[in-house]
Amino acid sequence: MRSRSALHMTEAGTRIGALLWALCTVMVFAVADAHAAVLSVAVLDDRNQPVPDAVVTVTPIGANPAQAPTGPAAVMDQVDLAFAPAVLVVRTGTPVIFPNSDTVAHQVYSFSPAKRFELGLYRGHPYQPVVFDHPGVVILGCNIHDNMLGYVFVTDAQYFGKSDRQGIWRGDALPEAEYEVAVWSPRLPGKKQALRTRVNLLDAPLSVELRLNEPLRAAISQARDPRDRY
């Protein structure tokens, strides 16, 4: 049996946040199937184009986030004078290794409130992993190569990931429950919070379509001419 419903979400918070939220309409199309427990989230921009590299987090309503286990160490590499991946999602408490695959030295830093750290000039062997112990968005830079820009999204959520090239993230085998689904992209203008909505997975599975009804910033561009020395 297939059913479809539409939810219009509002979010409390700052007045600015509420105003921006009013610009966004989040459409949730739920498709139920009695035999599988899969949540599929499609992230679309204001022109209905898929948004890749958007962060999707899924949290059971009422669950204690502290109970979510920390995953193994994650990797944020530096390749061709760019952070790779440009967006990394980790659970709170996860150690992240910052290798340097370039031949030139890098100097990684962040002054984001969620994690302030500096990795002095290095190449080859990475430093000890950096533990991201507070949820939030951590913006990465390289103090040598000003064009480099990366994001670590630190979350308490039990289930999370990034949308693929088609703008889709899929969570497999989720327990039947009510969840809060949040979507965040570094391309959201301003210091915009994650967009949130609730879904009920009791009638699993669900295909959720999140449409961001505001113009996104251009995709992250760390690219520069490899011969560029200045």
Partner 1 sequence: MRSTLSVIASLIAATAAGAADLSSVDAQGFVELRGVAVDSSLPSYVHGGLGLLPFDDEHDGVESGHFVLDLRAPLSETLRAQFSAIATTGDDEQNPVDITEAFIEWRPYPQSQWRWRAKLGAFYPPISLENRGVGWQSLYSLSPSAINTWVGEEARSVGAELSATSVGATLGRDLDIGGVVGVYGWNDPIGVLIFERGWSLNDRVVPLFGGTRRPFRMSDHDRYIEPTHEIDDRLGYYAGVEAKWQGRHQLRLLHYDNRGDPAQQGYADDAWRTRFDSIGASVSLAGLMLIAQAMQGDTAVGPSTDGRGMLIADYRAWFLLGSYSLDKHRVTIRHDRMHIESTRGAEFFDSNQRAQAWTAAYLYEHDSHWLAAAEWLRISGSLHQRELLGLPAEATEQQLQMVLRYSF
Binding-residue pattern over the window 91 to 130 for partner 1, x denoting contact by CB under 8 A: -------------xx-x-x-x------x-xx---------
**Candidate ranges 44-52, 82-90, 91-99, 215-223; the one touching partner 1 (CB under 8 A):** 215-223
The answer to whether 30 touches 203, Cβ cutoff 8 Å, is: yes
Minimum CB separation of residue 182 from partner 1 in Å reads 17
DSSP state for residue 191 in the 8-state scheme: S
CA–CA separation, 169 and 160 (whole Å):
9
Identify which of residues 59 and 185 has a Cβ nearer to partner 1 in the complex.
Answer: 185
CA–CA separation, 53 and 90 (whole Å):
14
Identify which of residues 91 and 115 has a Cβ nearer to partner 1 in the complex.
Answer: 115
Side-chain-facing half-sphere of 155: CA atoms under 13 Å: 23
Name the residue among 6, 40, 1, 28 with its Cα closest to residue 205.
Answer: 40
Minimum CB separation of residue 147 from partner 1 in Å reads 6
Q: Is residue 202 part of the contact set for partner 1 (CB under 8 A)? A: no
Minimum CB separation of residue 200 from partner 1 in Å reads 32
Identify which of residues 192 and 211 has a Cβ nearer to partner 1 in the complex.
Answer: 192
Minimum CB separation of residue 220 from partner 1 in Å reads 8
**Candidate ranges 9-17, 67-75, 201-209, 219-227; the one touching partner 1 (CB under 8 A):** 219-227
CA–CA separation, 51 and 185 (whole Å):
8
CA–CA separation, 10 and 160 (whole Å):
22
Cis peptide before 85 (omega within 30 of 0): yes
Residues in 126-185 at the binding interface with partner 1, rule: CB under 8 A: 139, 141, 143-144, 146-147, 149
DSSP state for residue 67 in the 8-state scheme: G
CA–CA separation, 230 and 228 (whole Å):
6
Identify which of residues 30 and 55 has a Cβ nearer to partner 1 in the complex.
Answer: 55
Which two three-digit tokens encode residue 53?
């590299």
Minimum CB separation of residue 174 from partner 1 in Å reads 30
CA-CA-CA-CA torsion sign (71, 203, 206, 47): negative
DSSP state for residue 106 in the 8-state scheme: E
Identify which of residues 171 and 186 has a Cβ nearer to partner 1 in the complex.
Answer: 186
Kindly list the residues in this chain that would bind partner 1 in the complex (CB under 8 A): 104-105, 107, 109, 111, 118, 120-121, 139, 141, 143-144, 146-147, 149, 186, 188-192, 217-218, 221-222, 225-230
